[in-house]
Amino acid sequence: MSEMRGPISKVRLQRRVQFSETDAAGIVHFSVFFRYFEDAEHALWREAGLSIHPEESAIGWPRVAASCEYRRPLKFEQVFDVTVRIGEMTKRTIAYIGEITSNGERIATGIWKIACVNRLPDGSMKSADIPADVATRLKPSA
pLDDT tens sequence across 61-83: 999 999 999 999 999 999 999 99
The answer to whether position 3 is within a domain reads: no
Sign of the alpha-carbon dihedral angle for 116, 119, 123, 125: negative
**Can you tell me the distance from the alpha carbon of 47 to that of 43, in angstroms, rounded to the nearest whole number?**
6
The answer to whether position 131 is within a domain reads: yes
Could you tell me the pTM of the whole model? 0.91
Name the burial class of residue 94, with classes exposed (0-12), middle (13-18) and buried (19+) by CB atoms within 10 angstroms of its CB.
buried
The answer to whether position 5 is within a domain reads: no
**Can you tell me the distance from the alpha carbon of 33 to that of 40, in angstroms, rounded to the nearest whole number?**
11
- Given a contact cutoff of 8 angstroms between Cβ atoms, the answer to whether 21 and 73 are in contact is no
The answer to whether position 99 is within a domain reads: yes
- Given a contact cutoff of 8 angstroms between Cβ atoms, the answer to whether 52 and 42 are in contact is yes
Active site residues: 23
Q: Which residue range(s) make up the domain with 121? A: 10-137
**Can you tell me the distance from the alpha carbon of 102 to that of 109, in angstroms, rounded to the nearest whole number?**
12
Sign of the alpha-carbon dihedral angle for 137, 106, 68, 142: positive
The answer to whether position 84 is within a domain reads: yes
Query: Domain total for the chain?
Result: 1
Show pLDDT as tens, one digit a residue, over the chain (142 residues). Answer: 445 566 889 999 999 999 999 999 999 999 999 999 999 999 999 999 999 998 888 999 999 999 999 999 999 999 999 999 999 999 999 999 999 999 999 999 999 999 999 999 998 999 999 999 999 999 998 7
Helix-then-strand count for the chain, H and E: 2, 8
The answer to whether position 4 is within a domain reads: no
Q: What is the largest CA-CA distance in the chain?
A: 49
* CATH code for the domain of 109: 3.10.129.10
